[in-house]
Amino acid sequence: PALSPTMTEGTLAKWVKKEGDRINSGDVIAEIETDKATMEVEAVDEGIMGKILIPEGSEGVPVNQLIALLLEDGEDKGTLVGYKSSSPPEGEKSSASRRGEAQDVGGKTASPVPSASTPASGNGQRVTGSEQRIFASPLAKRIAAQEGVNLSSVNGTGPHGRIIRADVEEAGASGGARRAPATGYGRNPQEYTEIPNSGMRKTIAKRLLESKQQIPHFYLTVDCRIDALNDARQRINDAAPKNKEGKPAYKVSLNDMVIKAVAMGLREIPAANASWTDSAIRQFNNVDVSVAVALDGGLITPIVKNADGKTLSTISAEMKSLIARARDGKLQPEEYQGGGFSLSNLGMYGIKSFSAIINPPQGCILAVGAGEERVISEGGQFVATQFMSCTLSCDHRVVDGAVGAEFLAAFRRYIEDPVMMLV
């Protein structure tokens, strides 16, 4: 099934049911990876799982592709002998098929055929002649480099044997995969490592390329003084009620307060909460803020809906839930599709300022940098204070310079006088 309006193909990540299992209507039979999340597929009919046509791990499976056959009551599995599905095009076959696993040919089982992509073992490696490739996520590679973990000795538990962060951390904790101390510098015989593009990465590339090519971007930057914001955040968290274990009911982050300030600014300047269509500018009646969340190998923008009407503690709890489910691939399409305005915060990475690419069809995205201490002249005295740089990217078809400036002025008022967000 198509699990989102833009989905054209997916990866059959896992079969929950196997051949011979009884299937009832509503049972989860498989897990499908889309470009944004992993979704469960439920059976719409009942019967016996007679034959699986698309093996687990198959990539590039088109929407509406036949993936399995059910037997009705009274039907025998023998009726499926000789039934063959159309093979997916080369490049869309499963990793199992590409490895040359035994195929049923004329009722006989053929021997596995060695191929260039035959894996060495379950450690995420594939050997091509004398070349060894280690399949690991970028985060896993970075942690391995920092901790001195030899990836060639790590067993991957991710999709298709890919090494993920947890595998590296476990290997590092056990001490069994530590790299021997380097005795000198030398070239790696493997000049590069190819990391296959996931469906998410392909979608990001396509949408952002279209955004930069088709949307006339312009940028406005404002510096916000955040001393009062930091003080308010500290007081809010100190006032949080605690349970018997002493755990606070909420812990508001700086990003939660920025989301609220954005929402209040959009309520005040609704012309910035809009998108472009060929026939009209579509101005949204609700303030739904999309927040960029980094994932292993990509990003996603879950939505805080009606953010202008929610308390800071509610926004904080909602964002924690959205982030956790986003990183587990459990978001529902309605939780990340839509939104009228986007927010991207790289301040926690120490980035002072940056310009973000608009997330179409939205008209604006706000890029938030890190807070930094600056010395300014105030009342004839030099004073150390905290500032944060924020850059608004605007679609000039939707938002003119004056509208963008008015929004940033409203946003800065809420940041510099956070009490106004509570009114």
Q: Which two tokens stand for residue 19?
A: 């051949």
C-beta separation of 264 from 421 below 8 A? yes
C-beta separation of 140 from 164 below 8 A? yes
Residue whose tokens read 């698309």: 54
**Mean pLDDT confidence for 61-66:** 88
**Mean pLDDT confidence for 305-323:** 96
Taken as a whole, the chain contains a residue count of 423
- Indicate the SS3 state at residue 40: strand
CA distance 277 to 57: 39
Residue whose tokens read 């807070």: 371
User: Does pLDDT of 135 surpass 60?
Assistant: yes
In this prediction, residue 260 has a pLDDT band, given cuts at 50, 70 and 90, of very high
List, in order, residues 6 or more apart from 387 with CB less than 8 Å away: 223, 224, 225, 226, 371, 372, 373, 374
Helix (H) or strand (E) holding 151: none
Helices (H), 222-253: 227-238
**Mean pLDDT confidence for 349-378:** 95
Q: What is the mean pLDDT of the chain?
A: 83
Helix (H) or strand (E) holding 322: helix 312-327
Least confident of 1-10, 203-212, 385-394, 404-413: 1-10
User: Does pLDDT of 141 surpass 90?
Assistant: no
Would you call 132 exposed, middle or buried from its count of C-beta atoms within 10 A (0-12, 13-18, 19+)? middle
Q: Which of 14, 282, 396, 397 is catalytic?
A: 396
In this prediction, residue 126 has a pLDDT band, given cuts at 50, 70 and 90, of very low
Q: Which two tokens stand for residue 293?
A: 């969340």
* pLDDT score, position 328: 87
- Indicate the SS3 state at residue 142: helix
* pLDDT score, position 85: 58
Helix (H) or strand (E) holding 41: strand 38-42
Is 217 a residue of the active site? no
* pLDDT score, position 130: 39
Q: What is the DSSP letter of 43?
A: -
Q: What is the pLDDT of residues 87-112, one digit of tens each?
A: 444 444 444 344 333 334 333 333 34
C-beta separation of 111 from 102 below 8 A? yes
Alpha carbons within 13 angstroms on the beta-carbon side of residue 191 total: 0
* pLDDT score, position 188: 81
Mutual orientation of helices 401-416 and 227-238 as an angle, nearest 10°?
50
CA distance 70 to 55: 15
* pLDDT score, position 118: 40
